[in-house]
Amino acid sequence: MTTMWQGCLADTDYFEVRSGGGHDYGIWVTAPPGYDPATTQAPVVYVLDGNWAVGMTAPLIVTQLDPMQQIRPYIQVSVGYAGEEAQHWDRLRNRDLVPPGEPIAEELLDAVELGIRTGARTREESDAYLAELRDTHADAFLSFLTAELHPRIERDYGTAESGHGLFGYSYGGLFSLYTWLSGSTLFETIGAGSPGIAGEDSQIFAQLHELGDSRPDARLHVTLNDRELLGDLAVYQSLTKNTATLLHRLTSRDGAVTSAVLRETHVTGLQASFLSYLRTCRAR
């Protein structure tokens, strides 16, 4: 880290890595205050969408020193995109965070068209965004996190052997649900903020059906935002409705699944959702 960035993201290292699939990722590693792996080894919390999320989530590592509600020590590893690709993180995430074969909901297509009409995206940018949604590989990205990145973090930062967590928001939240339902054994706690279950025919429901009465061992915490539900954007209304449907099916049979409704929009809810995950799943 440069001196300038070190002042904003204390105790943070940055490096870049190329996955076995040929994709380049930027990795921010933020250590707990006063962390010394020689005496105490901390587990890792992986945070997705690092290019957007690191500035809002990594500083919250100071919650581990909060005298009113301490959070158990963790090393935060924020995963984003590197080099020239970093500027396109909001479409590249579609490739990595969305389950294979996930249908593109009509409400999402309408939202993309609205973005074109309001000038939020050009037609070319929108076409590139949708192209990534037509060829999605959350399975490959999960393999990168667990089989490639984690061993390096474990080796270089002296992490604990267990107690690791995962947090994702929006499509990152969809990836969190996908990971939980896939039964990954690396993560003991998983946070899914406003997960992007845009359609009733989501692969998430197919995964849940395949599980039958069994449930993964990891603890799952899901958040939604009230202004998503009460606002006038159909895509946000759909994801809250579909996530609520998923929660109804889960919480009726599984006490390890918790949830919270936050007073935020889809855009402003990231930090609040991460805090909710920490307080619910990682408090002392």
Q: How confident is the model at residue 253 (pLDDT cuts 50, 70, 90)?
A: low
- Rounded Cα distance between 140 and 117, Å, is 34
Q: How far apart are CA 205 and CA 216, in angstroms?
A: 15
Q: For the range 90-94, what are the long-range contacts, defined as Cβ-Cβ under 8 Å and sequence gap of 24 or more?
A: 90/52, 90/129, 91/125, 91/128, 91/129, 91/132, 92/132, 93/48, 93/49, 93/171, 93/172, 94/129, 94/132, 94/133, 94/136, 94/171
What are the pLDDT digits (tens) for 119-162? 989 999 999 999 999 999 999 999 999 999 999 999 999 999 99
pLDDT, position 37:
87
Residue 183 has what DSSP assignment?
T
Say yes or no to pLDDT of 279 above 60.
Answer: yes
* pLDDT of 1: 52
Strand order in the sheet with 44-47: 12-18, 24-30, 75-81, 44-47, 164-169, 187-193, 219-225, 257-262
CATH number of the structural domain spanning residue 35? 3.40.50.1820
- Structural domains of the chain, count: 1
Asked if 54 and 27 count as a contact pair (C-beta separation under 8 A), the reply is no
Range of the domain at 95: 3-281
pLDDT at residue 171 in the model:
98
The helix or strand, by DSSP H or E, that contains position 44, with its residue range, turns out to be strand 44-47
**pLDDT tens digit string along 182-208?**
999 999 999 999 999 999 999 999 999
The pLDDT of residue 106? 94
pLDDT for 214 beyond 80: yes
How many angstroms from the chain centroid is the CA of residue 277? 11
102-118, pLDDT tens digit by residue?
999 999 999 999 999 99
Q: Is the pLDDT of residue 67 over 70?
A: yes
Weakest mean pLDDT among 34-38, 102-106, 222-226, 268-272? 34-38
Query: Tell me, what's the pLDDT at 255?
Result: 63
What global pTM score does this model have? 0.95
